[in-house]
C-alpha cells in the first residue's frame, strides 16, 4: 500500500527542506507503509528512547550524531527517557569512563536536535502532558501505557530513531492506537476484590496482565476506590514490561472507557479472565526469583519516583538508618529531586544512608560494577528486567517491605 502524502510532505520528501527532514520523511514512509498506514498525521509531542548508551550502543550514538550533523531539529516538544548514568555523580556510581564518554556524546547529539532534557520516564508529571484524544509519538513503554490508559492520549509504542524522525517532522504514521477502531477492548479482566487494591497489588496486577494479554487490549472492571497516579504508573509500567501492553481500559478511569460498552466499542470479549486476591498473591510469589532472606540493594523508582513517593520513604524510615549490609537507592527526575532538596528531605534521607540517583535508573545505567547479587524493589517492571539488565535475583515487595528490609538488612515481609 502506498502512503498518500500532502503537498507539504511531498516537498519535504523532495529534499526542499534539507537532508535531515528528507531522511526523516523517508524513514517514516517506510515504517508507515510497513504497518499499512495511509497517511501521516500531526502529533503534538514526542518522547524519545534513544537515551542511554547501555541500550543505544555505538550505532545509536552515531545515528543521533549523524542526524544532528545533517541539521535535524525537533519541531514539536520532544522529551527524553532517563540518562544512561547518574547525572550528578556518575563517577561515584562507578560508571566506567568509556561508557560515560559515549553517554555524553549521545547527550550532546540529542541536545543539538533540540531535546527538552528532562531525562525521565515520567514526562507526564509536568514536562509533557497530553490531553484526552491528543495524538503523540512516545516510545518509553511505561509512559506509552500511561498516556493511552490514564490520559486517553493516542500513541503507539514508537521505536528509537523512528521517534527522532517523528520529532523532526511533527508527524507519525496513522496506524494502530491512533485509530479509534484499533483502541477497542479485546479481553475482559474481571477483578473480583471486595476492597480497593493495596499499593503493591497494582504492579502485581500489571505484571500478570502483561503476561496474559501480550499486546491485546484488556478491559478491567471491578477496580474499587480511586487509585492515585503513582499506583496507575506502577500498574502500566509492569503491564508494558511483562507483556507489550500499550493500552488498558480501566472502566471508570480511562477517559474513553466510562462504561464497559464504551470500552469494548461493539467488540465481543474474545476471552474473560477473572482475578482474585489469590491470583495476586500467586503472582507476587512468582515475581520473587530469590527465595532466601539476604538482599544487597533495595532499588526504588521504576518508573521514576515522584516527590510523593520520596516523602513516603522518609515517613517509613522515620529517622532509622539503613543497614550497613544493604544499599537503598532511589531513582528520580530532576524536578522531584529539586523538591526533595527544598523540603530538606534529601538531606535527611542521605543522613540515614539513602542514595538518590539522579535522572537515571537501575535498568539503564551500569550497575554490574557494584557486584549486587540480590535486588529488592516495589516495581513490576524492575522485577521483569532486573535479572537481564542488572544480573541480580529479584525480590518484590511493597514500599513498606522494601524500606523495612533496608533497615533490617534482610528481606522483611508483611503478612498479606
C-alpha cell at 313: 520513604
Q: Which residue number, 24 or 144, has a Cβ lying nearer to ligand F3S?
A: 144
* CA 310 to mean position of chain CA atoms: 18
Q: Are 304 and 388 within 8 A, CB to CB?
A: no
Q: Are 180 and 42 within 8 A, CB to CB?
A: no
Shortest Cβ 7–ligand F3S spacing (Å): 39
Shortest Cβ 71–ligand F3S spacing (Å): 29
Edge to edge, the sheet with strand 78-80 lists 78-80, 46-48, 137-138
- Nearest residue to 140 via CA among 66, 79, 226: 79
Shortest Cβ 49–ligand F3S spacing (Å): 9
What's the CA gap between 231 and 83, in Å, rounded? 24
Contacts to ligand F3S by CB under 6 A:
81-82, 121, 142, 237, 302-304, 331, 361, 363-364, 381, 385
Bridge partners for 80 per DSSP? 48
DSSP string, 167-213: HHHTEEE--GGGSGGGGS--EEEEE--SSPPPTTHHHHHHHHHHHHH
What's the CA gap between 402 and 413, in Å, rounded? 8
Shortest Cβ 342–ligand F3S spacing (Å): 23
Shortest Cβ 302–ligand F3S spacing (Å): 3
SS3 300: strand
What's the CA gap between 337 and 339, in Å, rounded? 5
Shortest Cβ 225–ligand F3S spacing (Å): 24
Shortest Cβ 341–ligand F3S spacing (Å): 20
Q: Are 115 and 80 within 8 A, CB to CB?
A: yes
Q: Which residue number, 156 or 333, has a Cβ lying nearer to ligand F3S?
A: 333
Shortest Cβ 386–ligand F3S spacing (Å): 9
Q: Which residue number, 378 or 401, has a Cβ lying nearer to ligand F3S?
A: 378
Q: Which residue number, 12 or 239, has a Cβ lying nearer to ligand F3S?
A: 239
Q: Which residue number, 109 or 361, has a Cβ lying nearer to ligand F3S?
A: 361
Q: Are 136 and 163 within 8 A, CB to CB?
A: no
Q: Which residue number, 164 or 330, has a Cβ lying nearer to ligand F3S?
A: 330
Q: Which residue number, 232 or 237, has a Cβ lying nearer to ligand F3S?
A: 237
Q: Which residue number, 169 or 240, has a Cβ lying nearer to ligand F3S?
A: 240
Shortest Cβ 363–ligand F3S spacing (Å): 4
Q: Which residue number, 78 or 142, has a Cβ lying nearer to ligand F3S?
A: 142
SS3 226: coil
- Strand 40-42 and strand 171-173: the pairing is antiparallel
Count CB neighbours of 97 within 10 A: 8
Amino acid at each position: 500500500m502506498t502512503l498518500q502524502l500532502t503537498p507539504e510532505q511531498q516537498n519535504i520528501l523532495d529534499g526542499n527542506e534539507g537532508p535531515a527532514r528528507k531522511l526523516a520523511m523517508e524513514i517514516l514512509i517506510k515504517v508507515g507503509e510497513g504497518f499499512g498506514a495511509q497517511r501521516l498525521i500531526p502529533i503534538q509531542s514526542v518522547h524519545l528512547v534513544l537515551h542511554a548508551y547501555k541500550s543505544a550502543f555505538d550505532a545509536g550514538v552515531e545515528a543521533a550524531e549523524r542526524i544532528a550533523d545533517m541539521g535535524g531539529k525537533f519541531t514539536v516538544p520532544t522529551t527524553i527517557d532517563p540518562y544512561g548514568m547518574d547525572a550528578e555523580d556518575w563517577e561515584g556510581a562507578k560508571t566506567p569512563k568509556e561508557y560515560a564518554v559515549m553517554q555524553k556524546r549521545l547527550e550532546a547529539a540529542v541536545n543539538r536536535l533540540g531535546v527538552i532534557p528532562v531525562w525521565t520516564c515520567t514526562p507526564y508529571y509536568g514536562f509533557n502532558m497530553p490531553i484526552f484524544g491528543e495524538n503523540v509519538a512516545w516510545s518509553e513503554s511505561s509512559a506509552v501505557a500511561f498516556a493511552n490508559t490514564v490520559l486517553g492520549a493516542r500513541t503507539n509504542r514508537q521505536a528509537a530513531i523512528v521517534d527522532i524522525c517523528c520529532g523532526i517532522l511533527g508527524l507519525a504514521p496513522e496506524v494502530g492506537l491512533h485509530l479509534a477502531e484499533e483502541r477497542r477492548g479485546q479481553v475482559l479482566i474481571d477483578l473480583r476484590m471486595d476492597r480497593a487494591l493495596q499499593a503493591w497489588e497494582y504492579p502485581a496486577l500489571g505484571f500478570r496482565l502483561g503476561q496474559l494479554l501480550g499486546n491485546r487490549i484488556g478491559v478491567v472492571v471491578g477496580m474499587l476506590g480511586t487509585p492515585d497516579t503513582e499506583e496507575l504508573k506502577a500498574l502500566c509500567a509492569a503491564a508494558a514490561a511483562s507483556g507489550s501492553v500499550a493500552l488498558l481500559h480501566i472502566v471508570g478511569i480511562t477517559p474513553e472507557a466510562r462504561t464497559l460498552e464504551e470500552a469494548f466499542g461493539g467488540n465481543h470479549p474474545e476471552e474473560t479472565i477473572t482475578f482474585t486476591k489469590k491470583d495476586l498473591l500467586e503472582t507476587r510469589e512468582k515475581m520473587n526469583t530469590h527465595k532466601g532472606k539476604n538482599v544487597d540493594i533495595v532499588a526504588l523508582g521504576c518508573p521514576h519516583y515522584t516527590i510523593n513517593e520520596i516523602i513516603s520513604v522518609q515517613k517509613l524510615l522515620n529517622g532509622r538508618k539503613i543497614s550497613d549490609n544493604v544499599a537503598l537507592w532511589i531513582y528520580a527526575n530532576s524536578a522531584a529531586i529539586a523538591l526533595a532538596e527544598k523540603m530538606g528531605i534529601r538531606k535527611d534521607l542521605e543522613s540515614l544512608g539513602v542514595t538518590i540517583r539522579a535522572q537515571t535508573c537501575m535498568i539503564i545505567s551500569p550497575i554490574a560494577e557494584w557486584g549486587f547479587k540480590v535486588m529488592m524493589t516495589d516495581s513490576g517492571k524492575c522485577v521483569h528486567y532486573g535479572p537481564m539488565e542488572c544480573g541480580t535475583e529479584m525480590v518484590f515487595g511493597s514500599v513498606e517491605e522494601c524500606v523495612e528490609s533496608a533497615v533490617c538488612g534482610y528481606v522483611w515481609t508483611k503478612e498479606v
